[in-house]
Amino acid sequence: MARHQEKSGGTANCVIFIGVFTILAGFFWSRTPGMICMGLALVGLLHLAVLVHEQITEAKFHADMSPEEFEHYCAAVLREAKWEARVTRASGDQGVDIVADKRGMRIVIQCKKYSKPVGNRAVQEIVAAIAHEGAQRGVVVATNDYTPAAEKLAASNEVLLLHHLDLRRIDRLLAR
């Protein structure tokens, strides 16, 4: 929700920017400042087009998506953050739903679309998957919270537990 409001605010600011410089361009039209203002308004218009394109094409979460669709959503969010992310096949994945690489770092991700808090098993599986895939870090992404036991096990194994809304900030969260 905050991200949507942030983008809407950016769009509104961009429209104001375009309006102000278009008015100034009209006021100073036949002189050099008018041309500069019109150029700035055009830059604002191009920026607005990029913002709208990002809003239209970004991965969107839907509460009624299947667990497999949730995995593909998470991979799409990672790709938006410039990760090379691939969804593994459903069976025999050794507890890994997504393998993602970026700048020499490999992470393995398990996606849990649960209505209840995620427990220890997801953390145990991702810890095993780190070694199996030769990854530096493991991440569990869920639509719900985590049990205290899962949080404790994750902390002792340096596994990152995320809510799906936090996935867009994964680079900053992994840097901690």
Matching CATH number, 67-175, of 3.40.1350.10, 3.30.70.20, 3.90.79.10, 3.10.20.30: 3.40.1350.10
Instruction: Indicate the burial class of 50 (C-beta count within 10 angstroms; 0-12, 13-18, 19 or more).
Output: exposed
Model confidence at 5: pLDDT above 50: no
More confident residue, 13 or 58: 13
Pairwise CA distance, residues 66 & 52, whole Å = 27
Least confident of 4-13, 52-61, 83-92: 4-13
Model confidence at 1: pLDDT above 60: no
When pLDDT is cut at 50, 70 and 90, the band that residue 43 belongs to is very high
Give SS3 for 125. helix
When pLDDT is cut at 50, 70 and 90, the band that residue 8 belongs to is low
pLDDT score, position 166:
92
